[in-house]
Each structure stands twice: as structure tokens, then as C-alpha cells.
Structure 1
Amino acid sequence: MTDTLTGLAGASEEQVRRDDRAHVFHSWSAQGLIDPLPIASAEGSYFTDYNGNRYLDFSSQLVNVNIGYQHPKLVAAIQEQAARLTTVSPAFANDARSEAARLIAEIAPGDLNMVFFTNGGAEANENALRMARLHTGRHKVLAAYRSYHGATAGAIALTGDPRRWPSEPGMPGVVRYWGPYPYRSAFHATSEAEESERALQHLRDVIMVEGPQTVAAVILETVVGTNGILVPPPGYLQGVREICDEFGIVMIADEVMAGFGRCGEWFAVDHWGVTPDLITFAKGVNSGYVPLGGVVISDRIAATFSERPYPGGLTYSGHPLACASAVASIEIFREEGIVEHARALGEEVIGPELRALAERHPSVGDVRGLGVFWALELVRDRDTREPLVPFNAAGADAAPMNEFAAACKQRGLWPFTHFNRTHVVPPCTTTADEVREGIAILDEALAVADRHTTAG
């Protein structure tokens, strides 16, 4: 084992690249058309390749490294737990698991007092859906078109974006609805108030024609993530809560991406003072140092399974290494004021700086976000709002965004791009100066996007 570990530490870029191409089957990729960049190390808000090129990470990997890379206290917590107890079945009680659940329930809103642990966000959404169906005795679930809920069988069926298409037909009972998106309103709204009112009426109408007595749950990303950083307008989440209460429907808030400081709150729902019935989480709970996700459960739904067995489980549910890292992460968030820092970054640095970018670049159509969760929507024409690249663009159609992303990387910034948007989602621990450094690079790279506009 010592030789193997030494070999890993001393592997060359050539060896890593060769073995990756020969043996690693990558997600969401045509295997013969990719050449993944080998990463040698990371620290704070930066990662470094084998040639010594250092990148400021404006993607937080997959919007999950909220606490930054290699936080020493978090690494130490995993090491200490590994030395004491590496694994134990979910059937036993364990101090790391119990404490992680207690801390998560403590920061969750309302009466969400119990936690079912999973290995990630997709499994969290799968189990939340199962809980809602069993609790209500109903089978339908309403899910938005602009959404992503995971890639397992049920979660991909809930997903609204094109990643769902190759897996269809999927799980029955999923009904689509349009969520609010003021910049590209499906409801021809002219204000946020209209958008909220009309989106709620649309949701109510969908429930009416589907039959309220058949609908188990409405699932939504509190702030839509990969599909646009869509911040709900004032009143929308409160309205969804009221509709769910009226018809006995379970409200599921998918906070896999939006939770744990990303939106400047422990959970994004806190920004609007709304308490769902179930919250799903993963990513930022321990920044992906060890795979972990889960469902935070209200007392009412937990009571359904007080004397009735819950028919679900995972070998690694509440894994001690993962739970120990979650405990340490929450403690670090509190000690270092990371939630407050994330909120301040959004209000005082990211928001103002991105709005200033929009003034300078005709390719920026819209700026939106909260905390450390922001998007620039890029367009060819500000007046018509024609996207810089088409919906689900590929090949030559995607060239303008690919050129923009390449310009960022050449300057030492790793961006998060999706369709016609670039998201500004660095770790929540990123300093104000580091954010300004990254936005200065965006400023330069947007000149590439500007060339594809009617003004360019």
C-alpha cells in the first residue's frame, strides 16, 4: 500500500492523462472527444495543474466547494475520524452521524428536525419524493422545466433540462410546470410582482387540471442552479407554500446547490422566511470532501414513519467519515462567519461589480443572484434578448460560449458556463480581492463575447 500511495503522489501528468483516457469513463461526455485537464493540487479558491498553471475557481468545481480547497480543520476532522472509526452500518447509532444530524436540524427552519442521510443530491431527491408519496398516498409530483435534480432514475425524471431526454420514458407521475424567470417570462409579465402572481396562478391551474387529490409534491430548486441562477421574485415561495398547504401537497425544496452559505444563508429558503416540508441537501454541507447528501424532514412527515417502516436505505447512509466532515464544516462556518461573508460578498462586491460589467459589455443581457450564486446571461442583442448561443447549443452553435470560456482559462480563471450563461460561483470563503481579480478577467473575456453581438 505504501508503494501505491507513493506512486500516486509522484505520478506524472503524462501518466495521469494516459490512465484516465484508457480507463476512466466520464459523465456527460463522448469519451473519445474529451481530454480532461489533470489537476495536481488545490488550496483555498485556486487549483493548479501539473504545469504549474494556477486557476482561480469561479465554478467551485460543481458549485460544491463552498468552504474552499484543503481547509486544514476539515481535513484534520476526516483524518481523526478515520483513525477512530472508518465505517459503520446505518443500523447502528454513531456519534458523528448523530451530531451531524443534530447540527443540520439546528440550522434548518421550522420543525425540520430529522435527517435521512444519502451519498449525494440525486439520492436525496429520490428519497424526498418517496417520502412525499408515502406520506400523502398520492403519486404525482410537479417539477419545473428549468431544473436539475440529479441523474439517478427518479431524479433525472424530475429534471426539466435536456439532460433528461436520453433517459425517457422515465418514472411515471411527473408533471411539468413553468417557474418564474422575469428576464424571459413565460407569462408575459412586465414586473417581478406580475411574474410572481402569474407563475403562482399557472401552478394553481396545473394542480387544478391534474387533480389536487393526485398530487403528492411540488419540487423546486429554491434558487434554480445550473439552469440559470433564477432567483424567485418576492412572494413566489410564500405563494407555493400556501398552495401546498391548501391542497395537502408536500413542498420539497431542493437546496443541493443553493444551501449551506451559497445564497448567503444557511438554507436559501431563509432569505424569504419560508419553511418547506422537506429540504434536500448535499454539495456545500461538507464541500464534497467526502460524498454526503440528505433530506431534512418535518415532524409531520417523520411521524408518518413512526410505527410504519420507511422502505428505503443505503449502505453508506450517514457514513462516519462524511458525517464527521459535515460536523467540522458547520463548526468552521460558524467560527469563521462564512455565511455572513458570503452574504456580504454578494451585496457589496459581486453584485455591484457584475452590474458594472453589464454597463461596459453589450453581450451582458441580465445580471442576477444572491450571496456567492450569480449569473451573467449573455445575448447577441440586448433589445431582442436573443441568446448568445441557442438553447442546448452544441458544436458550431456553441462556439461563442466556448471562445469566451477559453479566454477565461487562458487568463487563469476557471468559469462555470451553461448554455448562454456564465455563473459566478466561487467558494464562499473567497476574499473580496480574489473576487475582484476574477471579475477583472471576466471583463477581458467578455470582449470575446461582445464580438458576437449586433453591437460588435
Structure 2
Amino acid sequence: MDTDNTPFPTEAALDAARESGRRAYELDRAHVFHSWSAQAQLKPMTILGAAGSYVWDGDGNRLLDFSSQMVNTNIGHQHPKVVAAIAEQANKLCTVAPAHVNDARSEAARLITERTPGDLDKIFFTNGGADAVEHAVRMARLHTGRRKVLTRFRSYHGGTDTAINMTGDPRRWPNDYGAAGVVHFFGPFLYRTEFHSTDQQQESERALAHLESVVAMEGPQTIAAIVLEPVPGTAGIMVPPPGYLEGVRALCDRHGIVMIADEVMAGFGRTGKWFSINHSGVTPDLITFAKGVNSGYVPLGGVAINGEIAATFADRPYPGGLTYSGHPLATAAAVATINAMTDEGIVDNAARIGAEVLGPGLEKLAEFHPSVGEVRGVGVFWAVELVKNPHTREPLAPYGGSSAAMSEVLGACKKGGLLPFANFNRIHMVPPCNVSDSEVAAGLEILDSALAVADTFVD
């Protein structure tokens, strides 16, 4: 077994980890209730350990983690500076009520606001991304005195009640009773355009015209916020065409609508910039974040708030809070993560990898594999759209489901030593932001073999 970058220095240590993993699996299946799953059909993977861009499964096999778990381990697994910061904070102050000042939370807020655009200079900390979205919407509704929220189809905003109703993918369907004040619209996605566009300029213009029509038909005076992932993640990593986000900003300004950028997945280096909206130069009114803010080492999320909305609650209490808002262990991890990303040039590495290694590598694979309908992305945030027919663009798995073909392709990835993120008919290549050139090359080689399996299902 390769001993480079492994948490198991000896075979004896690996054997002990395997035994512990078997026991963990038994207890999991007896007692753990998993999210988004039919419980009796589950065979979850056991993870024995992780380091850098790798994880080890229950059999001790080393896998390149190009899922970054839930697209959140932006600085990889077990980064020593962050692990040390958590340990140091645990020895000093494990927890404190959110009403009290603590240095980890204060410094985390400073570091985040230094990186947000415009005057988003206040941070409300949450436990994760879904409750960040919940609170951002609450702030927008209280600030405007309006109720409705507009979000796009092909989006994901979280699993709590408001957030799941805002979500535009099929996970919303069993939870949506039409009573959450949410209206969905189509965003730009040229490969599967709803607007019969032939190029990105048309797609941008027609998507904006559609959104403006939805606003007009719903009544702009009833709309509190438009909430967008600047680069939608789970729904397919659709980079917006030039001018689209600028158009949404202008539409919000005309009607006094709060613009909320959901940066939970795309933020903190994932796209090669601190926030994905930075690619457009647009400044939203609120930003929600989580995941990459501390690489997921301790649960943390938050809302970055501009001056106007913050002023709404200067002398009027904000009616919301959480026991663990700004938890010291979580915010200490955020401080260490942001500092490590800055000191080690991790955001710049993500941009370079996307432009020079991962993006070109995926585009080259697309030339040779008829099962690849499109590759798209930026930074270390890429999607490979798999199809049965490259001309009709019939997906390899239906929208909202999977297929035997996709299962075989993903099985080939794992057999080769690659753990990608998958959704419906897509494979997402989303390694850590500090992934190396050689690791990307290895991941692309494994994906190449797996795509050969996908090709066998092409009509």
C-alpha cells in the first residue's frame, strides 16, 4: 500500500481501522437514519480515514476525493493548521452563548467581511447553509415588508422548511405544499435552454426577459427577494452567461427587491475567487455561506449583510437566533481556514487548476467520448453531462432519478480509485481547491476509463 499521504502507517494500523469500520457499519445500519434515502435500500460507504485529497473506504482502498465530500472540504482533509486551531480553541474555550463576545467569532467575522464585495460588513453566524438561507429570507421579508421570494428551477438551497421550498430540484416535491411564498422561474442554461436560444447572449437576454415577466405577473410590490446561486452547484454547475447577474441586479434595484446570493457551495475559493459572484462584479444585498468557510471541519454557516439591511435592525430587534451562532470551535476553524487559503495561495490555485488543467482535461475527454454531452465549470467546480444520444441530448439518467447506466459508470470510477460527486445524469469533478496537478491528472485518467463504460450505453 502507498504510504504517501496516508493516515495508516502500518498494516496493523490499517487492520485495526478496518475492524473499527466494520463495527461502525453495523451500528450505522442498526441505528442511524440517513438523509434523502430509503433506509432499507442503503449500503453506505464507510470512511476509515482521510488526508489531503484522499479518503480510505471500509476495505482500506484509497480514493481520490473529487467530491470534496459535499463539495465542502475546500482545503482538503485534515489540514494541519485547521486541526491545530480546533485543538487550541478546545483547550481554551469550547463553547459560549452567542450573546457574549469571543475572539474566534470576532476574528472570523472580520476575515469574512474583508472578502465580501461592497458594504456587506456584518455577519450573522448560523450552523450551516440551510439556516443561513432561512435567516437571509427572514431579513429580506422584514426589511421590505413583503412576503414572496423568487428562486430558480434547477437550484438547491437547503433542507429546512423555507429552504427546501425555495429549492428548484425534485427534492422539493414531497415537501412543497405551495404555502411558503416561493415562486420559481427558469434561469439561463444554454445546453438545455428553455428559451430556444442559440448562443449565450440570447440565453442571457431571454432568461432576463422571462424573469422580468415573472416579476411583473407576480407583482413587484409583493416580492421581498430574488435568491440565486451565482453558479448553481448541485443542480448542474451552470456558469451564468455574461450580463445575466448584472441584469438581475438591475431588476432588483428597479423594484426594491433584495438580491440574495447563495454562496453556500460556490463560495470560499471553489470557483477560483473568494465568492462566485465576484466573477460578475455584482454586489448583492445579502450573501449566504457555509461549507468552504472552514472546509466543513466544524458545522458553520452565515449571512453577510449590507449596511442598509443591517440598519433595519439597528433599533429594532432582529427576531431570530441560534444557540450555536458563532460557535468558538467552528469560527476558530474558519479563521484558520481563511488564513491558510490566503497564505498558501489556495484560491489562486483553484483558478489556475480550472483554467490550465482540469477544464482543458475535461474538454479533451469530451472530444473522445460520445457519452459526454457537455462539460462546463470554472475553478475546481465542473460538471460532466452524460447522455444516451449526443444529438437529442437524452440524459443517461432521468431528471430526478438515476439509472443502471449511471450506477455502472460510478462503479467504474470507484473501482479505479475516484470518488466523484454525482447527481442524476451528471458527474461533478469538484476536488479540493488545493488539489495538485498530478492528482487532477490521475483523476482524469480514471474518469477516462469510466467514460468508456458510459459510451457503451450511447445509441
- Work out whether the TM-score is over 0.5: yes
Contact 1:377–1:422 (Cα < 8 Å) also in 2 = yes
Distance in 2 (CA, whole Å) between partners of 1:391 and 1:275 is 32
Distance in 1 (CA, whole Å) between partners of 2:321 and 2:26 is 37
Q: Deviations over 1:157-212 (max 9, x none)?
A: 10111101111215421011000001111011111000000000100000001011
| Amino acid corresponding to residue 207 of structure 2 in structure 1 | A
How far is the alpha carbon of 1:384 from its aligned partner? 1.2
| Secondary structure at 1:439 match in 2 | helix
- The partner residue of 1:290 within 280, 298, 315 is 298
Distance in 1 (CA, whole Å) between partners of 2:21 and 2:383 is 33
| Amino acid corresponding to residue 139 of structure 1 in structure 2 | R
- Do residues 230 (structure 1) and 214 (structure 2) align? no
Contact 2:271–2:379 (Cα < 8 Å) also in 1 = yes
Q: Which runs of 5+ in 1 are unaligned?
A: 1-7
How far is the alpha carbon of 1:320 from its aligned partner? 0.4
- Do residues 432 (structure 1) and 437 (structure 2) align? yes
> Which residue pairs with 2:112 in the alignment?
104
Distance in 2 (CA, whole Å) between partners of 1:330 and 1:171 is 39
- The partner residue of 1:281 within 275, 286, 289 is 289
Distance 1:104 1:171, change over 3 A: farther
| Secondary structure at 2:114 match in 1 | helix
Distance in 2 (CA, whole Å) between partners of 1:125 and 1:13 is 35
- The partner residue of 2:342 within 334, 358, 363 is 334
- Do residues 317 (structure 1) and 322 (structure 2) align? no
| Secondary structure at 1:415 match in 2 | strand
> Which residue pairs with 2:420 in the alignment?
415
Distance in 2 (CA, whole Å) between partners of 1:246 and 1:172 is 25
Distance in 2 (CA, whole Å) between partners of 1:75 and 1:254 is 27
Identity of aligned residues (%): 64
How far is the alpha carbon of 1:416 from its aligned partner? 1.0
| Secondary structure at 2:121 match in 1 | strand
Distance 1:11 1:317, change over 3 A: farther
Distance 1:319 1:11, change over 3 A: farther
Distance 1:291 1:170, change over 3 A: farther
- Do residues 248 (structure 1) and 256 (structure 2) align? yes
Please give the root-mean-square deviation of Cα atoms over the aligned residues, in Å: 1.1
Q: Which runs of 5+ in 2 are unaligned?
A: 1-15
- The partner residue of 1:124 within 120, 124, 132 is 132
Q: Deviations over 1:87-140 (max 9, x none)?
A: 001111111101100110000000100000000000000000000000000000
Q: Deviations over 1:287-317 (max 9, x none)?
A: 1100000000001110000000000000000
How far is the alpha carbon of 1:38 from its aligned partner? 1.4
How far is the alpha carbon of 1:11 from its aligned partner? 5.6
Q: TM-score, normalization: structure 1?
A: 0.96
Q: TM-score, normalization: structure 2?
A: 0.95
Q: Deviations over 1:6-30 (max 9, x none)?
A: xx98962221111111111111111
- Do residues 195 (structure 1) and 200 (structure 2) align? no
| Amino acid corresponding to residue 426 of structure 2 in structure 1 | R
How far is the alpha carbon of 1:434 from its aligned partner? 0.2
Distance in 2 (CA, whole Å) between partners of 1:376 and 1:387 is 11
How far is the alpha carbon of 1:393 from its aligned partner? 2.3
Matches within 5 A, 1:26-65: 26-65=34-73
Distance in 1 (CA, whole Å) between partners of 2:86 and 2:244 is 40
Contact 1:192–1:234 (Cα < 8 Å) also in 2 = yes
Contact 1:153–1:171 (Cα < 8 Å) also in 2 = no
> Which residue pairs with 1:352 in the alignment?
360
> Which residue pairs with 2:216 in the alignment?
208
> Which residue pairs with 1:405 in the alignment?
410
| Secondary structure at 2:45 match in 1 | coil
Contact 1:154–1:171 (Cα < 8 Å) also in 2 = no
| Amino acid corresponding to residue 126 of structure 1 in structure 2 | E
Matches within 5 A, 1:39-188: 39-169=47-177, 171-188=179-196
> Which residue pairs with 1:266 in the alignment?
274
> Which residue pairs with 1:5 in the alignment?
none
Distance in 2 (CA, whole Å) between partners of 1:13 and 1:141 is 44
Distance in 1 (CA, whole Å) between partners of 2:354 and 2:22 is 40
| Amino acid corresponding to residue 270 of structure 1 in structure 2 | N
How many corresponding residue pairs? 444
